Structure 1
Amino acid sequence: MDLLALADFNLVARHGGFGRAARASGRPKATLSRRVLGLEASLGVRLLERGARTLKLTQEGQALHARMGPLLLEIDETVAAVTSGKSTASGRLRISAPLLFSQMAMGKLAASFALAYPDVRLEVTAEDRPVDMVEEGYDLVIRVNPARDETLVGRIFLRDRLAVVAHPAIGRPVADEPVPAVVRANADSLTTWNLKQGPGIAIESRLRLSSLLMVRDAVLAGVGAACLPVSLVSQDLAAGRLVHWGDLDVPEIALWALYPSRRLLSARVTAFLDHLKAAFPHGTPDELAAYLRDF
């Protein structure tokens, strides 16, 4: 496939017409038109609807522009980095991150990154839903224990674990006596918390909340016990506001930074991955707790 033709099509699509693309690039309008016509012929589809005064992308043209635009931009950045002998992080960086991690740490991370890389326009969206990185134009996503996806690669940058905690005024239950519990609104209807060490704890749901931050606030108020990430309650445990009853017998919490394997890893994505590594060099819950405490 002719990369020059793809680049010219992307130029025309981005500027909304052959004339504007020609003026912006200094390329002859006739050359741009000839290359786009050749690209349409090689693909066997019409990419542009040409009117007397207007130009509109067809459905196929929109799909090609959406997928090829970021790729061509990264190719340009890579060529520029190779020819200049260095890689400079610049341009727009779009990240999707989980709500809790965003509320806890992303503001500080984004601010320090923006100060370190002023040429990068960072955009962070806090959401727990799975996103289609290519279709929605994200460069990087942060996810908790993501399902395996052959189209994505990435790395774990933080690990955490769930602990059962309670207000000191709530006595640890004896035998099978249920303890009042605060649980996530979307959690399974469990009747027992199984611990990694020691007997399980029978629970009776007292309050169901959609946010772990709200769950922590309710536990601090003495409503009941709860399962919460260690990093979220580390300071409360150290100060004696909460007591630790044990760790939940479930797989660890792993935060992954993911990006599409079929795309070139841009300088701005590499810079953010390095920024995460510098913030959490060992990726432990204590590091996240310390990071929040020092903010």
Structure 2
Amino acid sequence: MALDGRLLSNVSVLAAVVDSGSFAKAADALGVTPSGVSRAIARLEARIGVRLLDRTTRSLGLTDEGRELYASINPLVLGIEDAVTRASGSAGAVQGRLRVNVDAFTSRLLLAPHIHRFVERHPDLSLELIARDQLGDLVGEGFDIALRFGTPPASSLVARKLIETRVATVAAPGYLARHGRPAKPAELARHVCIQVRDPLTGQPFAWEFRRGRKAIEVPTAGRLLLTDPGTILGACVAGAGIAQIKALGIQELLDAGQLVDLFPDWPDERFSLHVLYPSRHLPAAKVRAFIGFVEELLAPRAAG
């Protein structure tokens, strides 16, 4: 027997009749007329093929078949009501489980140092922060929200730009003391450059520089081919070579003098950070809370 909305509705009417003890009281509880309740029970009996209620002008009772059906469906109806109550509560309460899909840079350099504050702020919420190379199927894989750099994919997902950051070319003072500072991007060909693997091709990303409408690509070389942003940053700070990395995650190191921005006059190789989630309609409170936290985290950081 196929399950449809009308069958579920009729079953819930039966549960209301049994719980209240009369058609009239069930009608009041459901906000319908007594005749509407009677028709729903008649449709359910016709659908199943047995009489479920023995009713006279003075009494109402379940038949044996009705009693067996009610015993089976009542826990399910209560479970549905409980689930709806919990779901409606999520519109205003930050609770349950939040699954966040992020790239490794965002996870390691932007969120990790601060995410404990979000968890402490919402004691009824558990957070799953999943770092992966590709966005994948956000809905199909059960994610509530994603944070991703670059152009959002063409899809039904809601995408909102949070901030824009430039790609900085940086080196540690110790590296520059040993090898000298390149005066222009073309001189990188003579330096040790930390390579970053493109997960789509398996090859190193090209090094690009943009200033206004001018764009150049510079060939670089180095014996280190890395993937993890934390490892890239750690190796660069240790003086292993020159690296390209989003300025958003390294501003503190630049301010502290642990890294030197080599070409601030080439500021226009940029990436935007977007938040993506499945629906614009009534996002859960936990989703809104996480977006607000990320915006709060990014607010003091310049988009340069």
Common fold: TM-score over 0.5:
yes
Q: Given the alignment of the two structures, is residue 185 of structure 1 paired with residue 171 of structure 2, yes or no?
A: no
| Residues 123 and 219 (structure 1), Cα distance of their counterparts in 2 relative to 1, 3 Å cut | closer
Match of 1:94 among 94, 99, 107: 99
Matched ranges for 1:12-161 at <5 A: 76-77=85-86, 79-80=88-89, 87-161=92-166
Contact 1:90 / 1:268 at 8 angstroms: preserved in 2?
yes
User: Which residue pairs with 1:194 in the alignment?
Assistant: 209
| TM-score, scaled to structure 1 | 0.61
| SS state at 1:133 partner | coil
**CA 1:225–1:77: 2 relative to 1, 3 Å:** same
Mark the CA change 1:265 to 1:283 in structure 2 (over 3 Å): closer, same or farther: farther
Deviations 1:187-230 (A, max 9, x none): 5564x643428996854311321223222233333333221111
**Contact 2:171–2:261 (8 Å) recurs in 1:** yes
TM-score under structure 2 length normalisation: 0.60
What is the SS of the residue equivalent to 2:117? helix
CA spacing shift, 1:237–1:271, aligned 2, 3 Å: closer
Kindly indicate whether residue 182 of structure 2 is the aligned counterpart of residue 173 of structure 1.
yes
CA contact (8 A) 1:110 1:122 kept: no
Unaligned ranges ≥5, structure 1? 9-30, 39-71, 287-295
Tell me, in whole angstroms, the C-alpha distance in 2 between the residues paired with 1:219 and 1:88. Answer: 43
For residues 96-149 of structure 1, give each alpha carbon's deviation from its aligned partner in whole angstroms, at most 9, with x where no partner exists: 111121112323443212221112222221212222122111111111114333
Separation of aligned partners in 2, 1:189 and 1:91: 39
Amino acid at match of 2:262: W
Pick from 2, 5, 12 the counterpart of residue 2 of structure 1: 5
Question: Does residue 260 of the first structure (1) align with residue 272 of the second (2)?
Answer: no
Question: What is the alpha-carbon distance in structure 1 between the residues aligned to residue 164 and residue 88 of structure 2?
Answer: 36
Letter in 1 for 2:289: A
Gap change, CA 1:172 and 1:199, over 3 Å in 2: farther
Question: Is the Cα contact below 8 Å between 1:179 and 1:202 reproduced in 2?
Answer: no
**Paired-residue identity, %:** 24
Give yes or no for contact 2:119–2:125 (8 Å, CA) kept in 1.
Answer: yes
Structure 2 spans left out of the alignment, 5+ residues: 12-40, 49-81
Contact 1:96 1:126 in 2 (8 A): yes
Contact kept, 8 Å, 2:110 with 2:249, in 1: the verdict is no
Say how many residue pairs are matched: 222
